[in-house]
Amino acid sequence: MYKKYAPLFNLLIFLIIYFFIFAFFAAFKVILAPLLISVLLAYFLDPLVNDVEKKIKLGRPFISFSIILIFIILVMGIFSLVIPIIVNQFNNFMKNLPELIDNLTKSTSNFTKWLDNHFKLPSAVKINFAKELEKEILKFLSGLSSFIPSIFSNIYSIILSILYLILIPIFTFYLLKELPHIKEFFEKLIPPRIRPGVKGKIKEVNEVVSTFVRGQFIISAGLAVAYSIGLSIIGLPFAILIGIIAGIGDIVPYLGTLFGVLLSVIVALFYFHTLKSILLVILVFAIIKIIEDWLIYPKLIGDRVGVHPVIIILIIIFAGEYFGITGMILSIPFAGVLKIFLRDIYEWYRDSFLYNKEVEIPVEDSPDENGKKHE
């Protein structure tokens, strides 16, 4: 039964597993952030642990602990260099925020007048456009201004953040240490008669997910550096702050870049008031994104996820609407894995009796050599 309908069974199992993953994250929202980060880090570091374990016979727990410790030291070293710059730029940004909002309000009003003078928009459209644009800009900036300070001013958030910093390396260590046993446990749950086929499919799925996780980590870090350098070269204020936000945000593909472009254009408008500055900002993001899409992404991730960018954007919008930021992060590997099962179902259908059955033409309706039908 399984062999005959294997692609359908595999897809059903995959959907059930993903449903339980989403349900688990929804049920344990308090530990969602550290657990999700730990899972991603474990996926990222597992190949390195496996390679070191093959070369050095010191035991997986010791190797996992050492690699996590080195990783923490590297991250802390980078943070010690970058955080003071980010904090300084953020403080300057918050200091100039009231003036920035006022300037944007005036710019919105001037833009509306320009539209009215050149296109003679109906009054209803003109008023609604001006008010809605102004309202959205103010809402965006107000939300930005209140989000980060609220994190640091709320005692509960501070305690939770400290707890997260402690839990992430602990969770990651145990995941790395126990990963072979976790795999073995789930393998034993699979009936022996279908185990080889299921293990092969799990290996294919694991390749897609792990490739995406590791590749996206590296790409996001590279984008953060590239955006920071590019925006600094054109002299944009808060370049490093915006570059890091845009790069990290691109863990969800395209989201960080879009946010970074929007924020950079607003800052460029406020400080330079020229079309040239806006074009330079767009040029920086466009060049870096083209290099990523055409050179870096194909080498690190390539066709192993193999989902068209337009489909990715639609999936991100849908997942963000119904499942929040967690759904946005999990949606791309989900789409890549789903493509594997849908491809198998398509191939199964092409080989099936339903597709290949030949329909016989009745003798009385079949044409003879002269093209006439038999009566």
Residue 68's CB is within 10 A of a number of other CB atoms, namely 21
Residue 49 lies in a domain: no
This prediction's pTM: 0.66
Token pair for 166:
């402690």
DSSP lists the bridge partners of residue 340 as: none
Residue 122 lies in a domain: yes
Token pair for 5:
């309908």
Which helix (H) or strand (E) element contains residue 229? Answer: helix 195-233
Which helix (H) or strand (E) element contains residue 101? Answer: helix 60-119
Token pair for 59:
């035991």
Q: What is the pLDDT of residues 256-305, one digit of tens each?
A: 888 899 888 888 877 887 788 889 999 999 999 888 878 887 777 766 66
Cα dihedral 148, 150, 153, 154 sign: negative
Among the residues of 250-308, which ranges form H helices?
A: 255-272, 275-291, 297-300
Residue 362 lies in a domain: no
Cβ neighbours of residue 187 closer than 8 Å, sequence gap 6 or more: 195, 199
Among candidate residues 167, 171, 146, 136, the one with its CA nearest the CA of residue 64: 171
Each residue's pLDDT expressed in tens, for the chain with a length of 375 residues: 566 677 777 778 777 877 777 777 666 666 677 777 888 788 788 888 888 888 887 888 899 999 999 988 988 888 788 778 777 877 777 777 677 666 666 666 666 666 667 666 555 445 445 555 556 655 655 555 555 555 444 555 666 667 777 888 888 899 888 888 888 887 887 778 777 877 888 888 887 777 777 788 888 889 999 999 999 999 988 888 899 889 888 877 777 888 899 888 888 877 887 788 889 999 999 999 888 878 887 777 766 666 666 777 777 777 777 777 667 777 777 777 888 888 888 888 887 777 776 544 455 555 555 555 544
Residue 360 lies in a domain: no
Contact in structure between 243 and 260 (CB atoms under 8 Å)? yes
Residue 163 lies in a domain: no
Distance (Å, rounded) from C-alpha 352 to C-alpha 350? 6
3-class SS of residue 367: strand
DSSP lists the bridge partners of residue 373 as: 367
Residue 1 lies in a domain: no
Structural domains counted in the chain? 1
Cα dihedral 31, 32, 34, 38 sign: positive
Distance (Å, rounded) from C-alpha 125 to C-alpha 321? 28
Residue 38 lies in a domain: no
Max CA separation in the chain (angstroms):
93
Cβ neighbours of residue 313 closer than 8 Å, sequence gap 6 or more: 254
Token pair for 64:
């996992």
Torsion, Cα 56 59 60 61, to 10 degrees, reads -130
Range of the domain at 146: 6-29+85-155+202-351
Report the pLDDT value the prediction gives residue 151, as an integer from 0 to 100: 47
Residue 57 lies in a domain: no
